[in-house]
Amino acid sequence: MISVMLVDDHAIIREGMKVLLASDPEITIIGEAGSVKQAVANMDLIRASNVLVLDMFLETESSGLGLLKQLLHEEQHPAILIVSMFTNAALVRQCLGLGAKGYVTKGDASDYLAKAIHTVSQGNTFISPTILASVMLEEPPSQEDQALELLTHREQDILELLGKGYTTRRMCEQLGISTSTVGTHMENLKYKLHLQDKNSLIRFAIKREEEREQKKRLFSTYR
């Protein structure tokens, strides 16, 4: 018998999963939680389960990723199966890299959930067939990524500070370099990134900083 704990902040999703799994005689639901706080309060049930079915991003208190990290520090923890609406391959790899044993999407065929639970309970990895190809496929770096790899550490510093709205004077003070040196680095940045002028460089830097902050918020665990 495979004992399962459900953690999802939508009650209707938890009820749906219970209905789907009720037809499998080898799976039993021993508990459920609608938030990280509730899950932590029921840690004994989590430890007693063979599989924890976990939503990747919970809407309240903390994210499923935060709980995933916390559980991996436990001496005894279940196999963790992520169930999420997100299908982005990078996010899937992020979860698997943190230690999740499987990943299925909420748009998958209904029988995938039970298959995934059986698979991860045996110590194997399960990735939804609908996203498997994109997860396994290693995307070639874009021209922008290739250009960014050519930057020196100091050029990366200048680009980051530029994206944060630093003036040339503030960059000089922050990095302990002269205005002419900052100017040289900015010229090199324009050349390496194929940008026409300073305004284009500033827009590029701001865009990168916004993307960096968005990614930090996305993966923040609030722990």
Radius of gyration of the chain (CA): 23
pLDDT score for 138:
57
Q: CB neighbours (10 Å) of residue 208?
A: 16
- The structure tokens 């079915």 sit at 53
Contacts of 187 (CB under 8 A, 6+ apart): none
pLDDT score for 87:
84
Mean pLDDT across 204-209: 92
Greatest mean pLDDT among 55-64, 87-96, 99-108, 213-222 lies in 99-108
Interval 33-76: pLDDT, tens: 998 889 989 999 999 999 999 998 776 545 677 788 888 878 78
Domains annotated for the chain, with CATH where assigned, are 2-136 (3.40.50.2300), 143-219 (1.10.10.10)
Sign of CA pseudo-dihedral 183, 188, 190, 196: positive
The token pair that represents 190 in the structure block: 């324009």
In this prediction, residue 28 has a pLDDT band, given cuts at 50, 70 and 90, of: very high
pLDDT score for 132:
85
Q: First-to-last CA distance in the chain?
A: 34
pLDDT score for 77:
86
Is a pLDDT exceeding 80 seen at residue 190? yes
Q: Write 62-65 long-range contacts (CB < 8 A, 24+).
A: 62/36, 62/37, 62/221, 62/222, 62/223, 63/36, 63/219, 63/220, 63/221, 63/222, 64/7, 64/36, 65/94, 65/95, 65/98, 65/219, 65/221
Is a pLDDT exceeding 70 seen at residue 141? no
DSSP 185-210: HHHHHHHHTT--SHHHHHHHHHHHHH
CA distance 119 to 133: 18
Mean pLDDT across 97-105: 90
pLDDT score for 222:
32
